[in-house]
Each structure stands twice: as C-alpha cells, then as structure tokens.
Amino acid sequence: MPILVIVPMVFGAAIGLVARYLLPGREWVGLFLNVLAPAAAAGVVWTAAAMLGAAADNGWAWIGSLVAALVVAVALPKVLPQRRERADAAYLAALTARKA
C-alpha cells in the first residue's frame, strides 16, 4: 500500500496550513514551505514506520507521522525568522559598506 502515504501527507499539509495562520513569524516563512515541510515530515515518518513493518491500521504510525508534522510546523516559524533577520542584516551591512 505505497499510495497510502498520501493520506498522512495531506493531514500534515493541513497541520502546516493551520499553523501558518495561528503562529507568529509567518511573514518570514513562505506559504508553500509552511505547508510542504510538515507534509514531507509526515510522509517520511509514515514511510519509515511502513518499512519497519507497521500496518496501515497501526495507530503509532499515524500518531508518529502527525506529531512529526506538528513539530516541523511549529519549529519553522520559530527558527527561520531569526535566521532570515541575521541574513538580511548581513546583506544590508554589505550593501551599505559597498556604497560608502
């Protein structure tokens, strides 16, 4: 049942979309990254659980994939704004140094 990985990925994308509008810092993270990264995390965990022998009705595979999507959806708006602000400050410093 390899096609079944799409279901947790859709749920992961939904978690990412909800997190985009509930968590602060979304202006620094693109719309597609906020949706696709949790979906990919859910798909990776689901595939790993399937490779370890979990069946489609295994609750732990579902819980694990949805928790992974939630962790990624919450971590993105926390980590990326700080990184982007540092990169923007360094770029502005480089531009002003070149101009002077």
Structure-derived torsion over alpha carbons of residues 31, 34, 37, 41, reported in degrees to the nearest 10: -150
Q: Where do the domains of the chain lie?
A: 2-99
Per-residue pLDDT of the chain (100 residues; tens, 9 = 90+): 578 889 999 999 999 999 888 887 666 677 788 899 999 999 999 999 999 988 888 889 999 999 999 999 999 888 887 888 888 899 999 998 876 5
SS3 57: coil
